[in-house]
Amino acid sequence: MIKFILLFALSLILIITAIDLVRVLGYKTYPIQPDEFTVLQDEVYADLVNGETGIDWNRLDGTLEFCDHQYDCSDFRLVNLIRILYEYGHLIPDDYLDRIEHTLFGFRYWWDEPGGNSMAYWTENHQILFASTEYLIGQKYPEVIFRNSGLTGREHMEKARSRALDWLMMRWNFGFSEFYSNYYKENISALINLIDYAEDEELVIKSKIVLDLLFYDVASQSLKNLYSTVSGRAFANYRRGEATLSALTAYLWGDGKKLEPGKLYGMMVTEKYQIPPVITEIAKDRSPVIIKQSNGLDIAELRRKGYYGTDTRSMMMQWGTQAFTNPEVIRNSIKTIRENNMFTNSFLSDFRYLDFTLISWLRLEPVLSRILNPQSNGVAIQRGNTYTYKTLNCSMYTVQNHHPGDFAYQLHVFGVNIGNHFSVFHTHPAAEKNVRRQSPNYWVGYGRLPHSVQDENVNLSIYRIPLKKGMMEANLLDYTRAYFPSEKFDTAFVADNYVFGKKGETYIALIGANPFAYRDEDNDDIIQDGRRVFWITEVSSKTEDGSFAAFTDRIANNEIAFDTSSLELRYHSNGKEYELTFGADFRIDGNVVDNAYKRFDSPYVQAEQKDETIAFTHNGLDLYLDFNNMIRDF
């Protein structure tokens, strides 16, 4: 009898698994983007703003075709299409307006609506873009029944309003998960559209308040007009200190040059949002300053903060931090994907291999995540306690003590801006230089995060690279590297395990555990071999050290001790004794440094997470914000 029961149970397991396998292998994914496309909605909008006549409306064909197919980043294309509809809809020929409306009424505005595609709805910037777009299209056509969803425009408004308010509340309480990122552009464009066109006072005022907080981030982290700093999501140009938001910062507090056509064009033409003058003054501040800040939440905090379920609000927080496969949330991810027909989304298609009945019944997903520890666990952007030291001619920035040794997708946890010219940073690449991967790769993210800490002008970073790569890890390189563009310095040279650079009156030194060598003839890529190594970075200037020669002599004579077994690093400089142990404490002169910061901690603003009010002040100017009571006073 027992033998029969066991045989029956085994047969049942095999049958269920076989059925699941057929279903899983049958999923077909949608393409993310076409091989070639041309979208010109930004140029059309700019022409309209600037009074161009004889608009060729057919230039919007590429945009509408792109959105009809619901390719990823369709929400980016709809930003200025909405502005065209609201400001210049009366100029659109009737037949072409019908074409636009056909696209808008068939669009899938959120993951819970019918249909399938490979749009990324979930990252922080996409969330507010989709909410802003859905709300404003619903407001424009409140009585129309949208053919894809079967909902009226007014019903779309209510859905989108709830998500937008949740998103705004999360930013007020905890800051941006994608802190200081390239994607602030998308947040700005979504919010300025709500501010300009929404007829809901609460949405408008709260959007203004959160936009103020975003611009404080940009202003406080900018060196003159160079906006490059630590970030939850940073790409190669951002890390190198090349153009990201420089056109916008120049427009707002630089030379005032007009913006080129793009998603940010609404910032230039809006009449309903004014950047508070105190934010502009903060951006122009050239005095030495230390700016500490807490951004986002750790995965371990989600339950305590009330974002641990599978309701839309909770999933916006979880997926907004890009936590998908981490053990704490993986069951929530699979449940949401399954219920909303998203196994066909190319970004999420690998989850199909966990969509087996027995895995779900036995609740094995977290166990498998812990055992396999896929590199995708490093996609999650966890709470960033950021430290920025700015002077007249340079800035140094670090995400303090940020999950040492973990994978990292697009994080940027340490760097230095040399004036507003360029940046320097070091990293453990996730792939070789010639390997083509989106991220992480040679320039983006990390193979393994360092233990990185900073005090004013000194950063200590220790790398511990394991001998064996993870089960699902593509590469595991046995060296670290620094981007150090020698030709952009006035003077730069390598001396064994030291490299020095001078630009104007700004000086920088990098020190390693092992000798440095340039990778190739470009002389911008310094390699340090070894799996258990450190990088020490110190910046100074003519004011502090006098001549560049005096600086290099002082640095060369500073005491350093490093134990490759215990990974304990000691560094003595300018009368301070720094001690860092990988995965443990950072001490200065024997005292443990607390790297868990308040929401805001700078000379301009002091606030805790979830404070009722936030007040900024500088140079006699003030900004007072009260989110819940919708007060914005300056």
pLDDT at 142: 98
**Which of 40-54, 234-248, 337-351 is predicted least confidently?**
234-248
- Supply the pLDDT for residue 69: 98
Cα distances (Å, whole numbers) of residue 536 to 75, 363, 466, 509, 588: 42, 45, 21, 8, 15
Percentage of residues of the chain with pLDDT beyond 90: 89
Cα–Cα nearest to 42, from 93, 81, 90: 81
Amino acid of residue 496: D
Helices (H), 254-321: 265-269, 277-284, 302-305, 312-320
The answer as to whether 186 is a domain residue is yes
Specify the pLDDT at position 367: 93
SS3 readout for 142-174: CCCECCCCCCEHHHHHHHHHHHHHHHHHHHHHH
How confident is the model at residue 24, as a pLDDT? 81
Per-residue confidence band for 246, with pLDDT thresholds at 50, 70 and 90: confident
The verdict on 204 and 347 lying in the same domain is no
Q: 300 has which bridge partners?
A: none
Supply the pLDDT for residue 19. Answer: 83
Give the pLDDT score at 437.
Answer: 84
Does residue 616 form part of some domain? no
Q: Is the pLDDT of residue 89 over 90?
A: yes
CA dihedral 528→529→535→541, nearest 10 degrees, is: -10
* Residue 563 pLDDT grade (very low, low, confident, very high; cuts 50, 70, 90): very high
Mean pLDDT on 614-619:
98
Q: Are 463 and 534 in contact (CB under 8 A)?
A: yes
Three-state secondary-structure class, residue 580: strand
Is residue 360 domain-shared with residue 390, that is, in the same domain? no
In a domain, 435, yes or no: yes
* Segment 333-353 mean pLDDT: 95
Phi-psi region of 98 (alpha: psi -120 to 50; beta: other; left: phi over 0): alpha
The count of C-alpha atoms lying within 13 angstroms of the C-alpha of 161, restricted to the half-sphere facing its C-beta, is: 15
Integer CA distances (angstroms), 147 to 102, 108, 552, in order? 9, 10, 69
Confidence of residue 343 (pLDDT cuts 50, 70, 90): very high
Same-domain pairing of 505 and 392: yes
| Same structural domain, 319 and 360 | yes
- Domain holding 359, by residue range, is 2-28+298-378
Binned at pLDDT 50, 70 and 90, residue 56 comes out as very high
Q: How far is CA 249 from CA 86, 289, 290, 461, 466, in A?
A: 27, 19, 21, 31, 41
Average the pLDDT over 254-274 and give the result. 95
Q: Tell whether 615 is covered by a domain.
A: no
The pLDDT score that the predictor gives to residue 39 is: 97
The DSSP element (H or E) to which 532 belongs, if any, is strand 532-541
Q: Are residues 160 and 79 in the same domain?
A: yes
Work out the mean pLDDT of the chain and round it to a whole number. 95
Q: Give the pLDDT confidence score for residue 14 in this predicted structure.
A: 80
Does a structural domain hold residue 235? yes
pLDDT at 22: 83
**Angle between the N-to-C axes of helices 277-284 and 201-221, in degrees from 0 to 180, rounded to the nearest 10:** 10
Domain boundary among 285, 310, 339: 285
Rounded-to-integer distance, Cα 100 and Cα 367, Å: 48
SS3 of 68, please? helix
Give the phi and the psi of residue 509 in degrees, each rounded to 5: -135, 135
Which residue type does 305 have?
K
List C-alpha distances in Å: 261 to 193, 248, 270, 383.
Answer: 16, 12, 14, 34
Same domain (yes/no): 142, 244: yes
Do residues 24 and 49 share a domain?
no
- Work out the pLDDT band at 17, boundaries 50, 70, 90: confident
Same domain, 134 and 169: yes
Count of C-beta atoms within a 10 Å radius of residue 595 = 18
Please tell me whether residue 308 adopts helix, strand or coil conformation. Answer: coil
CA distances from 162 to 98, 131, 313, 316, 577 (A): 29, 9, 9, 12, 51
What length is written for the chain? 634
Q: Which residue has the tokens 């007040």?
A: 615
CA pair distance 165, 169, nearest whole angstrom: 6
Whether the predicted pLDDT of 4 surpasses 80: no
Q: Report if residue 54 sits inside a domain.
A: yes
Closest CA to 162 of 195, 203, 191: 203
Range of lowest pLDDT (6-10, 392-396, 559-563, 613-617): 6-10
Same domain assignment for residues 271 and 221: yes
In this structure, are 496 and 564 located in the same domain? yes
Same-domain check for residues 329 and 199:
no
- Is 80 exceeded by the pLDDT of residue 12? no
pLDDT, tens digit, 9 for 90 and up, residues 425-439: 999 999 999 898 888
In total, how many domains does the chain have?
A: 3
The region, left, alpha or beta by phi > 0 then psi within -120 to 50, assigned to residue 583 is left
In this predicted structure, the answer to whether residue 31 has a pLDDT above a threshold of 90 is yes
Task: State the pLDDT confidence band at 21, using cuts at 50, 70 and 90.
Answer: confident
- If one counts every other C-beta atom within 10 angstroms of the C-beta of residue 369, the result is 21
At 49 the pLDDT is 97
Residue labelled with tokens 């490059």:
228
Q: How many CB atoms lie within 10 A of CB 588?
A: 16
Q: Which of 258, 285, 312 is the last residue of a domain?
A: 285
State the pLDDT at residue 244: 73
Is pLDDT of 485 > 90? yes
At residue 170, does pLDDT exceed 90? yes
Whether 6 has a pLDDT exceeding 80, the answer reads: no
pLDDT at 513 over 90: yes
Residue 622 covered by a domain: no
Largest CA distance in the chain: 91
> 253 and 213 in one domain?
yes
pLDDT of residue 10: 76
- Asked if the structure places residue 36 within a domain, the reply is no
